[in-house]
Amino acid sequence: MNLRYKKLEVIGQGAFGVVHKAKDTETNEIVALKKIRIGNAEDGVNISAIREIKFLKELNHPNVVKLLNVFHHSQNINIVYEHCKKDLEKVIKDREIMFSPSDIKSLMQMLLEGLNHCHQNWIIHRDMKPSNLLINSKGILKLADFGLSRNYASPSHINTNYQYTNQVVTLWYRAPELLLGCKKYGFGVDIWAAGCIFAELLRRQAIIFGDTEIEVLSSIFEIFGTPNQTNWPGFSSLPLTNILTFQENQPIALTDLFPAASNDLLDLFSKMMKFNPSERISAQKALEHPYFKNEPKPTLPELLPFFKN
């Protein structure tokens, strides 16, 4: 048994194994310990574990969860992360917590900073959603779970191997190009998901949802209108565009969707939710957007309203 980490309670059950809260007896730090089973005899070490380790070792940013250690123990790989008390999904669902416009600005800024760091290192996260955004006791938001991530530079992009299906990103946060069967995509899929999270922070519930790809697409088109060749060149040649037919919808005015939101916020939001992936704003440009410079200023992380108890 590895004696360095003393397991405390279970804090999560991921697709690849259990996550424990644990105490590092060398540093007295509280950490998160993720146990990944090596899998069956035919597959060897889980490829998601390899991705996660590879990418987290490359990334080093306050808004990306820190990998502290990796070790083998019996049939498992154990990954040690810095411990974060909460995730954004729990925070959004907690009706006791109220967000001010400054709080939302602060969360979005941290999210985009983390995302920008990934993109600068040519890494697409591919699974942005509130439950993968952790928040530590100082209120700092951190991107986690790189088990689906991918190097953008990877030339195997063009291949149609099973890795590169459009089956990435949890359904509700999945960008329209993925839902329409596009197999070549870029950083835009992360930005779309970030936009969905933005909306969820404002509305305290998801604006796009559905149980199937078709339902999610309809949900998107009901809000943003049905795309066409003009606002999305290449739309008509996407794999599923010809198979599916959608009702012609007109976009809803964003001021109806978010009546309390400021104009700069709506402008940034609309740029994150562009149908055409190449028109979608980059994380870096989003951070330079006036929304983050204008009043009210983003709340300091330690003053975010999560840990009042």
Contacts 24+ apart (CB under 8 A), 267-275: 267/291, 269/195, 269/198, 269/199, 272/191, 272/192, 272/194, 272/195, 272/198, 273/192, 273/195, 273/224, 275/176, 275/224, 275/227, 275/231, 275/232, 275/235
Would you give the binding string for another protein spanning residues 116-135, x where CB under 8 A is met? Answer: -----x--------------
Cβ contacts of residue 212 below 8 Å, gap of 6+?
171
Cβ contacts of residue 36 below 8 Å, gap of 6+?
16, 17, 46, 48, 49, 76, 77, 78, 79
Selected binder of another protein within 41, 98, 253, 260 (CB under 8 A) = 41
Which one from 87, 127, 145, 190 is the annotated catalytic residue?
127
Helix axes 188-203, 101-120, angle to 10 degrees: 170
Q: Does 42 bind another protein (CB under 8 A)?
A: yes
Question: CB under 8 A: which stretch of 44-52, 124-132, 185-193, 219-227 binds another protein?
Answer: 44-52
Q: Does 259 bind another protein (CB under 8 A)?
A: no
The annotation places the binding site for ATP at 11-19, 34
DSSP 301: G
Q: How far is the CB of 128 from another protein (least distance, A)?
A: 19
Closest CB to another protein among residues 127, 200 = 127
Closest CB to another protein among residues 102, 163 = 163
Q: Does 158 bind another protein (CB under 8 A)?
A: no
Q: Does 72 bind another protein (CB under 8 A)?
A: yes
Q: How far is the CB of 280 from another protein (least distance, A)?
A: 24
CA distance 221 to 219: 6
Q: Does 267 bind another protein (CB under 8 A)?
A: no
- Please give the positions annotated as active site: 127
- Residues in contact with another protein by CB under 8 A are 38, 41-45, 47, 50, 53-54, 57-58, 70-72, 77, 121, 150-151, 154-156, 159, 161, 163
